[in-house]
Amino acid sequence: MTKPVISLKDATVTVPNGTTILNKMNLDIYPEDFITVLGTNGAGKSTLFNVISGDLPLTSGSVSHDGEDITQVPAVKRTSFLARVFQDPKLGTAPRMTVAENLLLAEKRGSRRTLKNRKLTSEKLEHYYELTKTMGNNLEDRLQTATGSLSGGQRQALSFLMATQVKPGLLLLDEHTAALDPKTSDQLMAATNHQVKDNHLTALMITHNLKDALRYGNRLIVLNSGQIVLDVKDQEKDALTEADLLNYFVH
C-alpha cells in the first residue's frame, strides 16, 4: 500500500483563549495528490498549512512525513521537503535581487546557503529563460530586472517557480492567486496545473474560488470548525457542482 507523504493524526490546535482551531483532524496526503482546500474564514485552512509547515505547534496529535514523526521538527528543517507559495506576491522573493538571482538562490532551498557558487553562467541564464517562459507572462524578458519592479502577477509567478524549481516533496499553495486580477489569476492557475501534473508534484491548494476548486486537482476537502467535513476524489469529485459545495458554507 502506498505510504502517505504527510499524515496528520488527531491533530489539534487550541489557542490560549481556549478556542480550538484544529479539532482532532486526520488527513493522509498521498504522492501526486493535488488537493484543493475549501472552508469559511476561521475553518482552519491556514492553521492546517502552518501545522504542516511547522510554523505552528500542535497542542496534541502528530504529523508524519514519509512515515517518520516530524511533530517536533522545526519549520526550517522541513524546507528540505516542503515549499510554500503565499497569497501576497511580495512574500517569497528578494525584491532587490534580479529574477535570475532569485531563481539561483531558490536552487539552494533546504540546504545550507552560502555566498559561494552564485555565479550566473550563460547556461543558467538560458535555463532560467526557458523556465520563466513556461509561465506565459513575459517573465523571461525580465531576468535581469529587480524583482521589486515586477507586476504582482509576474512576482507571484516567480514565487511559484522558486517553490517548484527544486521538486518539493509537498507544495503548499496558500491562496496564491487571490491577490491577482481574474485574467492573471487564470493564467497562473493554468501554469500551476501544468507544472503540478507534468512534474508529478504533491500539492495542497487553499482557494475561495469554487470553480477552481472543482476544476483543478484530483481531490477536494472542505474544512469546518477545524474538522474535515468533506473529502472526495476522482470521479466523486468530478460529480460535484458549485451548488453542492455551497451547502457546506451555509450556517
**What integer pLDDT is reported at residue 112 of this predicted model?**
56
In this structure, the strands spanning 6-14 and 60-65 are antiparallel
Give Cα 68 to chain centroid, integer Å. Answer: 21
pLDDT band at 1 (very low <50, low <70, confident <90, very high): confident
**What integer pLDDT is reported at residue 215 of this predicted model?**
96
Which of 139, 166, 193 terminates a domain? The answer is 166
Domain of 243, in residue numbers: 1-81+168-251
CB 219 within 8 A of CB 34: yes
Of residues 117 and 3, more confidently modeled: 3
Question: How many structural domains are present in the chain?
Answer: 2
Which of 116, 134, 166 terminates a domain? The answer is 166
Which of 166, 196, 225 terminates a domain? The answer is 166
CA R_g for the chain: 18
Rounded Cα gap, residues 80 and 61, in angstroms: 23
Of residues 111 and 212, more confidently modeled: 212
CB 63 within 8 A of CB 51: yes
CB 37 within 8 A of CB 27: no
Q: Same structural domain for residues 172 and 151?
A: no
Q: Same structural domain for residues 116 and 136?
A: yes
pLDDT band at 251 (very low <50, low <70, confident <90, very high): low
| Cα separation values, 42 from 17, 45, 75, 185, 224, Å | 15, 7, 23, 24, 8
For residue 245, give the DSSP letter.
H
pLDDT of 110 higher than 80: no
pLDDT of 117 higher than 70: no
In a domain, 88, yes or no: no
Residue-wise pLDDT for 194-248, tens only, equals 999 999 999 999 999 999 999 999 999 999 999 999 999 999 999 999 999 999 8
pLDDT band at 136 (very low <50, low <70, confident <90, very high): confident
Q: Same structural domain for residues 67 and 187?
A: yes
Q: Is the dihedral of CA 228, 193, 191, 103 positive or negative?
A: positive
Rounded Cα gap, residues 141 and 129, in angstroms: 8
Cβ-Cβ contacts under 8 Å for 119 (sequence gap 6 or more):
none
In this structure, the strands spanning 34-39 and 219-224 are parallel
pLDDT of 156 higher than 60: yes
pLDDT of 31 higher than 80: yes
Q: Same structural domain for residues 160 and 182?
A: no
Q: Same structural domain for residues 31 and 126?
A: no
Q: Give percent of the chain with pLDDT exceeding 70.
A: 96
Cβ-Cβ contacts under 8 Å for 48 (sequence gap 6 or more):
22, 25, 27, 37, 223
CB 2 within 8 A of CB 67: no
Average pLDDT of the segment spanning 129-148 = 94
Amino acid letter, residue 95: P
Q: Provide the residue count of the chain.
A: 251
pLDDT band at 185 (very low <50, low <70, confident <90, very high): very high
Q: Same structural domain for residues 157 and 216?
A: no
pLDDT band at 111 (very low <50, low <70, confident <90, very high): low
Q: Same structural domain for residues 67 and 181?
A: yes
Q: Same structural domain for residues 76 and 26?
A: yes
CA angle 1, 64, 86 (to 5 degrees): 110
Residue-wise pLDDT for 82-98, tens only, equals 999 999 988 889 999 99
pLDDT of 108 higher than 90: no
Worst-scoring range by mean pLDDT, 56-70, 178-192, 212-226? 178-192
Q: Same structural domain for residues 1 and 69?
A: yes
pLDDT of 106 higher than 70: yes
Hey, how many other C-beta atoms are within 10 angstroms of the C-beta on 112? Answer: 5
Q: Same structural domain for residues 210 and 196?
A: yes
CATH number for the domain including 225? 3.40.50.300
Question: Phi and psi of 184, rounded to 5°?
Answer: -65, -40
In this structure, the strands spanning 170-174 and 203-206 are parallel
